[in-house]
Amino acid sequence: MRRFLPGLLLLGATACGGGADAGASLRFETSRLDLGTMHQYEEREFVLPFRVEGSGAIRVDVLDTSCGCTDVRLVVNGETLLQAEKDHGAPAPEKPEDDEGLSASAGDRKIEIPAGASGEVRGTYRPEQRLNDQIVTVTIAGSMLNSPAKTQIHALVKPAFELARDAGNFGTMRESALKAGEIPREFTVRAPAAFTVKYWKNVPDNLLVESVPGPAEPAPDGEGVLQKFRLRLQPSTAVGTTQIRITAVTSLGPAPLEVDVAWRVLGRVVYAPEHLVQFQSKTNDRDHEVVVKIRPSSEEEHVPEPTAEFLGETAGILTAAVEPLAKSDQGLAGWLLRVKLPQGTPAGVYKGTLRISYPAAPGIAAKEMTAYARVQEPR
């Protein structure tokens, strides 16, 4: 919220030239105006009536809001005397703007409102990317006794689009199931009104997204409509875990429709960890070890004993030993790869690749994961 400098408050309380009366006050008709429920990027106009109470005129120096999402203007007898307005012609920001407010100063102009006069602050509230309960303070500062005079507007802002958190989650699937054909997933979007998608952004080649044919349906509670969409994961999807966010530009304006999409495709072999083997800030006065668990993705699969080698800077630094891994609650029987960072390794940072392969089973693809070690001298 914008703070007024002591000098401004002192000026408002003592400067009464030109007929302004320090004993007069500006009183808003209400301390808070409720705009009700609205959606992101919707605009809503409001009026905040006020009256000058006292025996003399007041001078207005500043019209201020606590949030740049709210344009306001001071109107008396149909004439706009002061205006604080933000340029909303620019594209919507990627992130919500901060709460830096808007302020309009009278400067050298002399703005006086006579005793007994009524006026109003008219404005437009644009929540943009804000959500939930929002309160904006509107302030008028000047020569009035109660300077700065304040009131508030309140709105409950709902998302322009609502969908289940797991709407785009395909879950875990085996590579063999995916190779048999694409895997579809449908999800439902609630919106204030029926809409069309102009185009989607950030959609990878192995994922198709489309609207399910048919008109939008009224929501069961009567608030908005429901529209269905379909995701289709293609057989070309690689083994591994993916999490992305796809975004649709729609006919409802700047409000983005965002869908978090995730899937995990299991190959014939499952690794834990899946992508990275690291030794972070280890001292070289003793041995250090991390393990990689290697298991078949199903009981029908057989995983022969693997071989492991390190490439890049980790070659000759890290070593790996393979031993059987028993079946447990965590998974099927497989192999345990013990990766060792030996005592006496020179201090430094080592980056490379751990390559796991299966010479006895050419049909099982080799697995490569990042190998990393940061070694330091003991303190």
Give me the DSSP letters along 169-206. Answer: EEEEEEHHHHHTS-EEEEEEEEESS---EEEEES--TT
Q: Are residues 209 and 116 in the same domain?
A: no
pLDDT of residue 98: 52
**82 membership: H or E segment, kind and range:** strand 79-84
Question: Is there a single domain that holds both residue 81 and residue 176?
Answer: no
Token pair of 44, please? 């809503």
> What integer pLDDT is reported at residue 87 of this predicted model?
59
Question: What does the block give as tokens for 137?
Answer: 């303070």
User: Among 266, 295, 322, which residue terminates a domain?
Assistant: 266
Separation of alpha carbons 173 and 184, rounded Å:
12
Question: What pLDDT is stored for residue 88 in this prediction?
Answer: 53
Residue-level pLDDT at 15 = 38
Q: What parts of the chain have a pLDDT lower than 70?
A: 1-22, 87-99, 104, 106
What per-residue confidence (pLDDT) applies to 308? 97
230-240 exposure pattern, b = at least 16 Cβ within 10 A, e = fewer: ebebeeebebe
User: Does 1 map to a domain?
Assistant: no
Check residue 300 and give its pLDDT.
85
Q: Determine the residue type at 61.
A: D
Whole-angstrom distance, CA of residue 48 vs CA of residue 121: 5
Determine how many CB atoms are found less than 10 A away from the CB of residue 305. Answer: 14
| Parent domain of 319 | 269-376
- Where among 133, 158, 183 does a domain terminate? 158
DSSP state of 315: T
> 44 and 142 share a domain?
yes
Q: Is 62 helix (H, G, I), strand (E, B) or coil?
A: strand
> For residue 20, what is the domain's CATH number?
2.60.40.10
Instruction: Identify whether 365 is part of a domain.
Output: yes
pLDDT at 20: 55
Distance (Å, rounded) from C-alpha 57 to C-alpha 259? 56
Task: Report pTM.
Answer: 0.65
Give the count of domains, the chain: 3
